[in-house]
Amino acid sequence: MTVCEFYVEVTSASSLLAADANGFSDPFVEIYLAHEDPKLRKKNKLKTKTILKSLNPVWGEEFRFEVPHMDPEDIQLKFKIYDWDKIGKNDYLGYVDFGIKDKTLYQNEYNSFTLDVKEGQGTLTIRVMPISFGALRNPMFGVSLREILSRDTDTHVPSVVRFCAGILYKRSLTECFKSERHKGIAAEGIFRVSGNDGVVKNLRYRFDNGLIKNEQDLEDLSDHDIAALLKQFLRELDQPLLTFEAYKPLMRAVSSGKSDDDLVCMIKKIITSKLTPHEEVLVNVVLFLLNQASKLEDTNLMGVKNLAIIFSQTILYEPIAMCGEEDDLHSAVKEVSGRARVCEIMIEKYSTLFTGRECSLVEMYGLDKTPLDDSEEKWF
């Protein structure tokens, strides 16, 4: 059963109507959940305490909602404000409507909203904390590339990669600079500086539930938040981008003592033989973006070595079962160094690895898709 669980805090109000002869009111708030089931409506009808003689009451009261079989975007709450009267009917001071749809909500933390009171005056401040909005509709994080693309049949590249890579690349074009927050891969410390954890969690939730429809939904986000989301997606694939199957061959190649030109040829053969067509396409897109970022080192202070160190931990690592507990420190350091070296060569020699198949914005956005299988050319 799908269950939406969230907390609502009725925080405070300001400048409410004065309903009593003394120039004040004794306000309290009733909270209603809009739902077709009358039992659920009754269960989720809640009320704050009464604050005496105040037009600017502070409640700070928290309420828990647990609603089965409900789409999070359909959640609607109504807050009715009343003046308590000891004798007779309570006076109505106005109401506030609140809907989840189109709101940016960070899970497991309070999100504050100050809303105008209708049919009255003043404002009401509430805080909402989503805990669980039920089963994910179309999870993109922590699943296989094959599963993602089986649902997204119009492209060879998952939408989270298309949108994140696309907007970071476009922003890096000089004429597209809008602000210090919008420089794309030209931003200082890109892929090294952490994004806002709450923002990234919210973005992940929205992608997993199909709520991010296009690149425009990311326009207001900082470069580092978008970069952090892209790294998290790659890190949480069911296996690393360069795959477990290619791990040992790549590590053997980089430790062979061959020249860089020979290494490029060896890596190219490994990519072609060990990666599926869809994996190779995704590697192409990611390496293109990192290659372009490395060319902006004077601006972003992120050279090839920096990017390689960061992404070697994300796109190239061995299965846990292969990690020996008795490995000595020297072997571990050598392994880390080898992974970074593989990534360094792939970023720096991107054009050689993908000669004639270099990524372009058309491919990055997943346009002009053509059929792709193991027997065909592996790039558009």
Write the pLDDT tens digit of every residue in 100-115.
Answer: 776 767 766 788 999 9
C-alpha closest to that of 220 among 270, 179, 263, 265: 179
**CATH code of the region 3-133:** 2.60.40.150
Protein fold of 145-364: Phosphatidylinositol 3-kinase; Chain A (1.10.555)
Longest dimension (CA), the chain: 92
Task: Supply φ then ψ for residue 125, to 5 degrees.
Answer: -105, 125
* Mean pLDDT confidence for 307-314: 95
205 confidence band (pLDDT: 50, 70, 90):
confident
* Mean pLDDT confidence for 109-137: 85
151 confidence band (pLDDT: 50, 70, 90):
confident
Domains of the chain: which residue ranges? 3-133, 145-364
**Share of residues in the chain with pLDDT > 70 (%):** 83
- pLDDT, tens digit (0-9, with 9 covering 90-100), for 206-232: 888 777 888 888 888 999 999 999 999
Number of separate helices (H) and strands (E) present in the chain: 13, 8
Cα separation, 10 vs 47, in Å, equals: 10
- pLDDT, tens digit (0-9, with 9 covering 90-100), for 336-379: 999 999 999 999 999 999 987 777 544 444 433 333 344 333 33
Average pLDDT, the chain: 84
Cα separation, 31 vs 95, in Å, equals: 10
Please report the DSSP string for 305-333 in residue order.
HHHHHHHHHHH----GGGS-TT--HHHHH
What proportions of the chain, in percent to the nearest 5, are helix, strand and coil?
40, 20, 40
pLDDT computed for residue 374 by the predictor: 41
C-alpha closest to that of 157 among 171, 175, 140: 140
Angle 312-317-321 from CA coordinates, rounded to 5°: 165
pLDDT at 37 over 90: no
Cα separation, 114 vs 219, in Å, equals: 24
- When mean pLDDT is compared over 95-99, 137-141, 218-222, the highest value belongs to 95-99
Please check whether residue 161 is in contact with residue 282, taking contact to mean a CB–CB distance below 8 angstroms: yes
Taking the whole predicted model, whether its pTM rises above 0.85 is answered as: no
* Mean pLDDT confidence for 305-317: 94
- pLDDT, tens digit (0-9, with 9 covering 90-100), for 253-300: 999 988 889 999 999 999 999 999 889 999 999 999 999 999 999 999
**Share of residues in the chain with pLDDT > 90 (%):** 54
